[in-house]
Structure formats: C-alpha cells, structure tokens
Structure 1
C-alpha cells in the first residue's frame, strides 16, 4: 500500500494540529478565493455605477488572477530566505489597502488598480498557508492539515456569491470590498497573536535571484513535483471554469434567479467538504496516491456526464454531474497538494509558490475558455471538465511509472 513517506523530506517541526491552527490556515487559504467570487453578484451594480459594459467586468477577475499568479512566485522563495511571518502580515496589509481602493473607486481603471493591489497582497496569505502547513507537519498530519485548509479554499468561492448578493442588496456593491478588507484585518490580527515564525533561521535558504530561477527550473523538471502539481492544477482550472460558466447556464438556460444561484453555489460547498473529509480517511486506509487517482476519475466522470446531457440539460442532471466532479476535486486537491509538497521541506515556500502559480494559470485558462470556445456555456464547461480531468489522469499516472519517483 502506498502511503506518505518522509524519507526524502526535511523533518517538520513538532506541533500539535489544533482547531485554532486549522482555523488560521483555513483563513489564510480562503481569503483570496473569497475576495474573487464575492463580487460576481455585484457586476450589474458595478457596471451601472462605473459606466462599464458587462463584458468588460471580467477584467476584474483576470487582472486579479494574473497578479496573484505572478506575485506568489516572488513571495514563496523570499519567505524561504527570510521567514513567513512578515510576508503574511505585510501581504494582508497590502490586501487591506487594495480593498479600500476598490471600495472607494470612482472609475473602472481605479477599480482594476485596486484589484491588482488586492491580489499582490493576498497571494502571500494563500501561498504561505501551504508552506506553513509544510513547515509544521509531515506525512499524514500534513495531509490532514491540507485536507481541511483546501476544503476552506474550495468552499469560499461557493459561499461568497450568496454573501455578495446579500451585501449588494442591503448596502450596495462597495460593501463587499469593505467586508473582505475587514476580514483581512481580523485575520492579520489573529495571525499576529497566535502564530510564531514557523520557518526558523537554521532551515532558511540564502538564495540569489539566479539560484531561485534555477530552483524553479529544477522543480519544473522534477517528476515528484511537476506531475502531481499539474494534475491538481488542471482540476482546479475546471473548478474556476464551473464558477465562471454557472451563472449563464443556471440563470439564462435553466431559469434560476440570482438568489437561487447563490444557494446552489452554497450547496456545492458541502460536496467539497465531504470530499475533503473523506480524503484523509481513505488515504490512511488505501494510500494517498490511490485515492487521488479515484478523485481524478470521479472528476472525469462528472465532466463526461455533463457532456452527455449538454444537448438537453436539466437542473437535476447538471447538479448531479457537478456534484460528481466536485466530489472528485475534493478528494484529489488536498492529497495531490500534499504529495506535491512532501519531498520539498526546505523549499516549501518556493514549491508552494510554483504550485499556486500553476493553479492560478489553469484557473485563468479555464475561465477564458468558457467564453473563447465556440460552444454554448454548458458545452464549453463540459469539454473543459472532461478534457482537463482526462489530461490530469494521464499526467498523474505517469508519476507512478516514473523510475526516479521517491528518490532524493
């Protein structure tokens, strides 16, 4: 049976996995996703207030994804050299400033500037949540910590449209930015009071820019990293494609209201939550790699079922297909993330940054393809989910055959 092994990993610090620590890691992982989808219900209000055509509002998402992806490439290796604490606190401070700019924006360009600043700040919290988990835990404890934090990261986009809709209806579109900024402040205070430096000086890497670039190239060429990282990222790309396409599918094609759309998104969270809880329990019994493969297969089956009903969709059929995909995503995301980071204890920040970059790149590609493909929104989504999951399975299975896998 294949389980987690620490033979090639640096020893993690001894620390108990407490509820408070899990809440902190989950908050750091989720706040970036929360600040992304919470504004979707406010698009009509933003368009009217700033005199922006609806089709141009997608720039608020793509600009965020691009800045987020690029920013974490620098945060990760810098935190490996200088420690995690001040990058988390500094990043959340920048995020709060960006949220304030968005909330006070009187023009669309100013809103985009605020979104970019938001992303550059919050990327530190997201990437370093995984690095901190790797600093503190190893093996099955790492899988458990990542399972619950990844559930939070996946759940935030599900609940945030419902929250955003309520805020927009009661207080206007600016309230969503005020709320996420306040959340960043609370999270920064909680982190400052509850968490010490998790990456001590004796484990830090004094690397130059050229050495960092070589380290990134080394990770990209290392099958232990790149194969599970790409597989997880392709599944995450499918998740964000679902969020991008679902409003058009459910509201325009299937007749749901904005409130019903928010409730549907919120309901999907429980499927992801179930997958995350099952992941660590099943991995303990049958091995992380085997359960990750099952998760990818489930995601592929969900996409295939969606493809089969794309010509005559119904709400129950759509909901069932998405539930199967999300259950598979909930299994493979934490386990694949743990398998990706496990061999790279001394480079946890750098490895987590590159993994986050790949995930955001796939998220950007997935959301772009939902409108770029010459298909209906449902047809495009079904092709993205099926094709991405199939490619993820091929890539992940290659890892098991690689003769160098598991070697230092």
Structure 2
C-alpha cells in the first residue's frame, strides 16, 4: 500500500531519531527555515523611504527581490550536496555569517547596485539555513517525529511572509529602513550561537557521501527520476508556488479591488498565518490516524476546492476570505507531509534532496508569478486560474507516487 511505502526507506538505510523532539529544538529549526522568508518581505513597507534615500524608484527596488530569489535558488543546489559530504555545521554557520555580512552591506548601502549586491550576499548565505533546516530535521528524526518537525518548519516558513511586513513597518517607522537589516542580522547572530551550542554537527562522518561534480550531478539525476522523491516534491513545489503567487497578486486585489490601506494589507497577511498555523499542527495528528500519504491527498483536495471556489465564485470580499481560508487550510496540511514523504527515503542524500526540493519550489513560484502577470484578466480571476491550475497539477503529480 502507498501509505506503507512512504514509511519504509527503500534501498536506503533509514536513520533513527537521535534527539528528543523538544520545543527548543523545533524553535531553532523553525528560525533557521524562516530567516530567508523574513528577510524577503520585511523591507516591503520601507520601499518608499529606501527609494528616496537611494535616489531611485520603488519599481526599480523590485530588483532586490529578483536578485535575491535567483541567488537563493542557485546557491542551495550547491549547499545541499556539500553538506552531505562535509557535514551541516560549518555550512550553517558560514551561511549565517554571510547573511550577517550581506545585511551590513544593505544597511550601509548608498546606491541601488550596492543594495542589490548586499541582497545577493544575503541570499547566498540564508539559502544554507533554509535547505539545511530540513536536512538537519531528517538527520535527527524519522517517521511521525519527522512529520511533526517539518510541520513546524513549514508553518514558520509560511508565517514569516505574513508577519514580516507588519514588523518591518514598525521598525521602519521607529528606527528607519536601515534598522530592518540590522534586525535580521542580529537575529542571524542569535541563531548561529544557539545552533552551535544546542546542535552542532548532525550528519555523522560515516553517513557522508562524495561531493565531486559528477557525483553531485548523478545524485540530482537519480532524485529527478526516482518517483518516491519527484512525485511528492513536485506536488509540494506547485503548492508553494501557488502560495507565493497569492502573496504577489493579493496586494492588487485587496488594495485596488477592495480599497485596503497598506496597514490593512499587513493585517490581512498576518491573519492568514493563523490558518496555516492551525493546519500545520493538525496535519501530523491526522497523519498519525490516516497515514501521511492519505492525509496529504486530503489536503490537496481541500486546497483544490478552495482554489476552484475562488475561480468560479463571485468577486466579493467575504467570499474571497472563505475560499482563501479553505485553500490555506489544505496547503498547510499537504506542505509538511509532502515534504516528509519526499525526504524520508533519502537519509544519506538529505542535503541534496532538500536542496533540489527548494530549487523546485522557487522555480514553481517564479513560473506561477510570471504566468499570473502575463494573463490578460483581472487580478482576482488570474489568481483563481493560477491557484486552480497549480493545485490540479499538484494532485496529479502526487497520484504518481502510487
């Protein structure tokens, strides 16, 4: 049965749990995972002030996002295999150090190219923490414990984009836009100290794999053709891509269509976090009863139902909120469970598997946002089309796991 297959590592040595699943450890992993998402959206409220200070336009500042995402996507493809060969600790700490350096460059930037350069350095550093938070979880936990750990990690990654605009707006109002970079840099320092004291190295020397270029390419090729990985990984990536499309397209819907203020937009984004938070805690409990694969399928059906409702329903704020809540509930269920299913059979290649998963997620997000921008339709309709198409493809991909 499919459920049984997802709990058994076929052709790979399963790793037992090495650490107790404590709140402190989960908080540390969640912080490592969420740092990149936090650093991405926290500067949004400061864009007008940054544009004036740097002598540029708000539109031109969008380059700080595209450069960040490109560096983030490419960097993690190298971080994952390197951690499988040399261990997680030095890459996590080096990544956090690079992120702090990038944050300092951004804070002292006086021109847009300097700011973009700082964002690239930030991304190259923080991609390590995002990728390796999942790999470390795979090192330490197995089965239901892994699903619970990944649930909180996924909740943190989804919560950070929702809460960070409110936080960034407050910091910018009180201390100025440079302080937002100082804040995320200080957070990275705290995470580095805590990680070094609390965890250290989690990938044992006898479980490490080769790191030559042919070996890395071979590992990625094997993962891409292994249905145990690519089916759930592609499904999760399409779901995450649809979530990023929502974050990108919602401002036009809410501010232009429903006349939200910037502060109201921040409150709305923050409120969505509670739905994802609840779904993330619900998912492992349902998986304990029904199994990971069945629960993930249910989550996909729920998310697809919300997407279809958004596509065919009336353009009304109350209906928009209801349909979006259903979508977020399903998304919050399938994201951690699909990730756990994709990573479970690949303990020795957890770094490469997590890196490839992250690359697929960023790729699907970029495609979803680009297609949404190209559609000749109102933003409300375009969002419904993107969400419905992404979830339908995700459901089809996950069924291939059979």
For residues 242-288 of structure 1, what are the alpha-carbon distances to aligned partners after superposition, in whole Å with 9 as ceiling and x for unaligned?
11111121112111111111111111111001111110000110111
- The answer to whether the 8 A contact 2:299-2:333 is kept is yes
Compared CA separation, residues 39 and 87, structure 1 to 2 (3 A)? same
For residues 14-72 of structure 1, what are the alpha-carbon distances to aligned partners after superposition, in whole Å with 9 as ceiling and x for unaligned?
22111111011101111011111111222222223223333332222121111101000
Distance (Å, rounded) in 2 between the aligned partners of 1:167 and 1:7: 46
SS at match of 2:348: coil
The two structures, once aligned, show a CA RMSD in angstroms of 1.4
Can you give the 5+ residue segments of structure 1 that lack an aligned partner in the other structure? 401-408
Indicate the larger mover: 319-328 or 26-35. Answer: 319-328
Compared CA separation, residues 87 and 211, structure 1 to 2 (3 A)? same
Alignment equivalent of 1:338, drawn from 327, 337, 340: 340
SS at match of 2:401: helix
- The answer to whether the 8 A contact 2:240-2:361 is kept is yes
Alignment of 1:199-218 (within 5 A): 199-218=203-222
- The answer to whether the 8 A contact 2:9-2:344 is kept is no
| Number of the residue aligned with 2:178 | 174
SS at match of 1:41: helix
| Number of the residue aligned with 2:350 | 348
Alignment of 1:304-383 (within 5 A): 304-309=308-313, 312-383=314-385
Please identify runs of 4+ aligned residues in structure 1 that moved more than 4 A. Answer: none
- The answer to whether the 8 A contact 1:229-1:340 is kept is yes
- The answer to whether the 8 A contact 2:67-2:120 is kept is yes
Distance (Å, rounded) in 2 between the aligned partners of 1:298 and 1:62: 31
- The answer to whether the 8 A contact 2:37-2:161 is kept is yes
- The answer to whether the 8 A contact 2:42-2:164 is kept is yes
**TM superposition shift of 1:379:** 1.9
Can you give the 5+ residue segments of structure 2 that lack an aligned partner in the other structure? none
- The answer to whether the 8 A contact 1:66-1:364 is kept is no
Alignment of 1:155-194 (within 5 A): 155-194=159-198
Distance (Å, rounded) in 2 between the aligned partners of 1:48 and 1:315: 34
Does residue 85 in structure 1 map to residue 86 in structure 2?
no
Compared CA separation, residues 379 and 43, structure 1 to 2 (3 A)? farther
**TM superposition shift of 1:172:** 2.2
SS at match of 1:54: coil
Distance (Å, rounded) in 1 between the aligned partners of 2:174 and 2:58: 22
**TM superposition shift of 1:348:** 0.4
- The answer to whether the 8 A contact 1:235-1:388 is kept is yes
| Number of the residue aligned with 2:287 | 283
Does residue 68 in structure 1 map to residue 77 in structure 2?
no
Distance (Å, rounded) in 2 between the aligned partners of 1:131 and 1:301: 32
| Number of the residue aligned with 2:27 | 23
Alignment equivalent of 1:50, drawn from 45, 50, 54: 54
Question: What's the TM-score, normalizing by structure 2?
Answer: 0.96
For residues 186-227 of structure 1, what are the alpha-carbon distances to aligned partners after superposition, in whole Å with 9 as ceiling and x for unaligned?
111111111121001110112311111011011101111111
Distance (Å, rounded) in 1 between the aligned partners of 2:54 and 2:9: 56
For residues 280-339 of structure 1, what are the alpha-carbon distances to aligned partners after superposition, in whole Å with 9 as ceiling and x for unaligned?
000110111111111111211221121123xx5222122112111111110000000000
